[in-house]
């Protein structure tokens, strides 16, 4: 007991953190194409990736997060294709999707909405209009040749800016952005192609396309070959991804990619190509399953089944505001708003994190907005209770002193036991990538504290008072730490 409490209460120490490993690790996550706002399906990637980064940092790793921006593919080409035309010249079906558009609006509060709005219509239109599709294909070829149209990068950056603002609402930020075009510009894609040409299983197809015979890599039988350049010599996405990964593998000791299950085959293809070019090591993949709609199927912007993160967060704030207003007549509007946002964001982040990544999640509003039970607000509430006791005990930040003998009742012992589990939980999550274990631990600790709270009158005058305050101090610190790992705001009151 003394050891656990001592570590949890040590001033300045990060209870639960491991010593620095000296190891550098790159976590690539999210990497959504800049084509429009995030829906909740896409953002599972970011929430898992961001949390993994926090957990690995706590475990002592030196973490760099990267967002890989695809600015040279067909999707990027579609955005530039449509916005390079005067709006009056847009095909009517696309025009109909964004009737208010007058031209590319880059300086609005939501450039991802402004520029991404016509995207689904463009996508649909191209399927039925080969001549337009050919224009986009031609543009795509230009992009890949390094011939970027005047405002191309501007469009991509604007949409990305809007998307990142949304992610920022739930605490997701990136250390670095890596643009796919940079690997074409610096010649590294070309070097990859050269190496693959000389690789053990290289073959040239009838039309001149370069491929790798993948039969030895255990890939599906129907995909015996990995094509790395088209007949016209241009590279494919996976080829450019090899260049990106060689750069990452050369710079970081560990490389982790957070990928949706639909990219599972891509991951194995990438591994095969990295082996072919003689890469010294390989990336680790953290694969998560989709968030589906209750009726089944993935979220789709075009089908109208997508739930946007911003809308979810807005609704969460509305509901949280009502909850806070119900019980806090003592706070002003600004404070009420601050608490509501913290609760709302905590609920949404926790809802995604509570489930193992390999489980598919059927999105339901009432689940995502739950503030009770196994939820973010449940843990936040326990933290707020602890903080409140410490304020009233006039020991918000210590110093804390305890005698083990004062904490020999079952509730205190159980709480200490729960606290002692924190370091190994962090270590486990870091080792396995099972960040949901941290969410589970957070709930278990909050649960144990709530029981303690119910049974032990901490501030009651008596010989145990100081020790009990110390135990609450240790719990508050640990709850704060675990909430930070989850990216959920540790509210001082709610």
Partner RNA sequence: GGGCGUGUAGCCUAGUCUGGAUAGGGCUCCGGGUUCCUAACCCGGCGGUCGGGGGUUCGAAUCCCCCCACGCCCGCCA
Binders of RNA among residues 269 to 288 (CB under 7 A) are: 287
Nearest distance, CB of residue 198 and RNA, angstroms: 20
Cα–Cα distance for residue pair 152/203, rounded to 1 Å: 35
Stretch that binds RNA, among 103-111, 163-171, 259-267, 415-423 (CB under 7 A): 259-267
Stretch that binds RNA, among 10-18, 308-316, 364-372, 418-426 (CB under 7 A): 364-372
Nearest distance, CB of residue 168 and RNA, angstroms: 22
**Percent of residues in the chain assigned helix, strand, coil, to nearest 5:** 55, 10, 35
Which of positions 171-210 make contact with RNA (CB under 7 A)?
180, 205-207, 209
Q: Residue 145 or residue 360: which is nearer to RNA going by CB?
A: 360
Report if residue 320 touches RNA, rule: CB under 7 A.
yes
Nearest distance, CB of residue 223 and RNA, angstroms: 4
Which of positions 110-129 make contact with RNA (CB under 7 A)?
none
Which of positions 285-304 make contact with RNA (CB under 7 A)?
287, 289-290, 292, 296-298
Stretch that binds RNA, among 53-61, 153-161, 305-313, 388-396 (CB under 7 A): 388-396
Report if residue 42 touches RNA, rule: CB under 7 A.
no
* Cβ-based neighbours of 125, under 8 Å, separated by 6 or more: 91, 93, 94, 132
What's the length of the chain? 494
Contact 41, 298 (CB under 8 A): yes
Phi, psi (deg, nearest 5) at residue 342: -60, -45
Nearest distance, CB of residue 145 and RNA, angstroms: 13
Which of positions 78-107 make contact with RNA (CB under 7 A)?
none
Cα–Cα distance for residue pair 301/32, rounded to 1 Å: 14
Maximum distance among all Cα pairs of the chain, rounded to whole angstroms? 88
Query: Which tokens sit at 177?
Result: 């952005």
Nearest distance, CB of residue 243 and RNA, angstroms: 13
Query: Which tokens sit at 418?
Result: 């729960």
Nearest distance, CB of residue 208 and RNA, angstroms: 7
Nearest distance, CB of residue 444 and RNA, angstroms: 7
In the list 103, 146, 264, 399, the residue contacting RNA (rule: CB under 7 A) is 264
Q: Residue 7 or residue 260: which is nearer to RNA going by CB?
A: 260
- For residue 288, what are the β-bridge partners? 260
Query: Which tokens sit at 159?
Result: 């949409």
Stretch that binds RNA, among 8-16, 55-63, 377-385, 418-426 (CB under 7 A): 377-385
Cα–Cα distance for residue pair 494/488, rounded to 1 Å: 14
**Sheet (strand 254-260) strand order:** 176-179, 62-69, 24-28, 254-260, 284-288
Contact 364, 430 (CB under 8 A): no
Contact 210, 232 (CB under 8 A): no
Report if residue 75 touches RNA, rule: CB under 7 A.
yes
Q: Which helix (H) or strand (E) holds 284?
A: strand 284-288
In the list 374, 421, 427, 466, the residue contacting RNA (rule: CB under 7 A) is 374
How many chain residues touch RNA (CB under 7 A)?
Answer: 84
Contact 242, 192 (CB under 8 A): yes
Stretch that binds RNA, among 43-51, 118-126, 249-257, 261-269 (CB under 7 A): 261-269
Helix (H, G, I), strand (E, B) or coil at 490: coil
Q: Residue 279 or residue 471: which is nearer to RNA going by CB?
A: 471
Query: Which tokens sit at 320?
Result: 């949280």
Query: Which tokens sit at 467?
Result: 């020790």
In the list 358, 397, 401, 417, the residue contacting RNA (rule: CB under 7 A) is 358
Nearest distance, CB of residue 86 and RNA, angstroms: 26
Kindly calculate the radius of gyration of the chain based on its CA atoms and give it in whole angstroms. 26
Q: Residue 95 or residue 338: which is nearer to RNA going by CB?
A: 338
In a 13 Å sphere around the CA of 335, the CA atoms on its Cβ side amount to: 10
Torsion angle of the four alpha carbons 8, 9, 10, 15, in this order, in degrees rounded to the nearest 10: 20
In the list 135, 323, 406, 484, the residue contacting RNA (rule: CB under 7 A) is 323
Q: Residue 107 or residue 454: which is nearer to RNA going by CB?
A: 454
Which of positions 412-471 make contact with RNA (CB under 7 A)?
432, 434, 436-437, 440, 443, 447, 450-451, 453-460
Nearest distance, CB of residue 334 and RNA, angstroms: 15
Q: Residue 107 or residue 222: which is nearer to RNA going by CB?
A: 222
Exposed / middle / buried, residue 428 (Cβ in 10 Å: 0-12, 13-18, 19+)? middle
Nearest distance, CB of residue 298 and RNA, angstroms: 6
Q: Residue 391 or residue 403: which is nearer to RNA going by CB?
A: 391
In the list 8, 25, 368, 389, the residue contacting RNA (rule: CB under 7 A) is 389
Q: Measured between alpha carbons, how far apart are the two ends of the chain, in Å?
A: 30
């Amino acid at each position: 007991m003394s050891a656990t409490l001592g570590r949890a209460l040590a001033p300045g120490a990060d209870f639960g953190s491991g010593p620095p490993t000296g190891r550098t690790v790159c976590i690539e996550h999210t990497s959504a194409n800049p084509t429009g706002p995030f829906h909740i399906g896409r953002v599972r990637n970011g929430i898992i990736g961001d949390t993994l980064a926090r957990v690995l940092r706590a475990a002592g790793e030196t973490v760099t997060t990267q967002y890989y921006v695809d600015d040279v593919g067909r999707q990027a080409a579609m955005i530039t294709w449509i916005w390079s035309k005067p709006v009056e010249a847009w095909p009517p079906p696309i025009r109909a999707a964004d009737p208010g558009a007058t031209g590319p609006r880059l300086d609005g509060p939501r450039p991802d909405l402004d520029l991404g709005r016509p995207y689904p219509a463009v996508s649909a239109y191209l399927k039925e209009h080969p001549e337009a599709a050919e224009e986009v294909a031609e543009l795509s070829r230009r992009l890949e040749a390094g011939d970027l149209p005047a405002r191309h990068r501007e469009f991509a950056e604007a949409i990305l800016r809007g998307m990142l603002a949304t992610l920022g609402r739930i605490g997701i930020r990136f250390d670095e952005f890596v643009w796919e075009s940079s690997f074409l510009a610096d010649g590294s894609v070309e070097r990859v192609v050269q190496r693959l040409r000389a690789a053990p299983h290289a073959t040239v197809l009838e039309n001149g396309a370069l491929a790798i015979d993948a039969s030895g890599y255990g890939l599906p039988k129907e995909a015996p070959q990995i094509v790395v350049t088209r007949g016209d010599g241009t590279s494919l996405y996976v080829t450019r991804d090899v260049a990106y990964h060689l750069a990452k593998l050369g710079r970081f000791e560990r490389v982790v990619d957070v990928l949706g299950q639909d990219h599972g085959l891509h991951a194995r293809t990438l591994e095969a190509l990295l082996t072919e070019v003689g890469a010294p090591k390989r990336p680790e993949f953290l694969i998560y399953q989709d968030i589906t709609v209750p009726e089944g199927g993935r979220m789709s912007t075009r089908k109208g089944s997508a739930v946007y993160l911003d809308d979810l967060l807005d609704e969460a704030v509305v509901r949280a505001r009502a909850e806070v207003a119900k019980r806090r007549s003592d706070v002003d509007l600004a404070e009420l708003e601050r608490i509501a946002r913290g609760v709302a964001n905590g609920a949404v982040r926790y809802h995604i994190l509570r489930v193992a990544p390999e489980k598919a999640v059927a999105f339901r509003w009432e689940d995502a907005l739950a503030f009770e039970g196994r939820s973010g607000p449940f843990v936040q509430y326990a933290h707020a209770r602890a903080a409140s006791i410490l304020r009233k005990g006039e020991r918000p930040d210590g110093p804390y002193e305890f005698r083990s003998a004062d904490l020999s009742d079952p509730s205190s012992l159980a709480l200490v036991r729960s606290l002692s589990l924190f370091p190994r939980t962090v270590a486990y999550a870091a080792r396995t990538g099972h960040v949901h274990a941290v969410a589970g631990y957070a709930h278990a600790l909050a649960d144990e504290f709530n029981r303690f709270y119910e049974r032990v009158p901490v501030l009651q005058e008596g010989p145990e008072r100081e020790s009990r305050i110390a135990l609450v101090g240790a719990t508050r610190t640990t709850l704060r730490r675990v909430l930070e790992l989850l990216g959920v705001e540790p509210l001082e009151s709610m």
